[in-house]
Amino acid sequence: MTGHGTIELRDLKLDTQIGTYGLKDVVPDAHYLDLTLSICPQLILIAEDRMSAVFDYDPLIAEIVRLARDGHYETQERLITRIIAACATYPQIESAEIALRKWPVRSGSGTLGVRLFAGSETLAGMR
């Protein structure tokens, strides 16, 4: 079967601490995660309605939440790296695109984030 399947997670508010801020700096209220996982379509086009036929993303989401709460991060990039490494532990994931953004950036407005696409070679190198 040819094709392409994705699992998409959008706007997951993470309970995390990222960055170092001075007294007059704008401290973000929240960090939001978007994650798109590429998987083989056989894990979506299923003949029977049973969990064993699909990719169970709940353990990955639980690990992402754990990583976000794991301590203070200096950079968004470090948390993204750890999340991509968690994705790499699942052979069903062929590639992953991740975006992490903070809000607000200035005076109650703006988001600022980092985005990464990790292809099959990147994930294989992390496995």
pLDDT digits (tens, 9 = 90+) for 48-67: 999 999 999 999 999 999 99
- Per-residue pLDDT of 88-127, as tens digits, reads 999 999 999 999 999 999 988 999 999 999 999 999 999 9
Tell me the whole-structure pTM to 2 decimals: 0.93
Q: How crowded is residue 45: how many other Cβ atoms within 10 Å of its Cβ?
A: 11
Question: What are the E-state strand segments in the chain?
Answer: 5-14, 17-18, 30-39, 72-73, 93-103, 112-118
CATH of region 5-126, choose from 3.40.50.300, 3.40.50.450, 3.40.1010.10, 3.30.1130.10: 3.30.1130.10
Cα–Cα distance for residue pair 75/50, rounded to 1 Å: 39
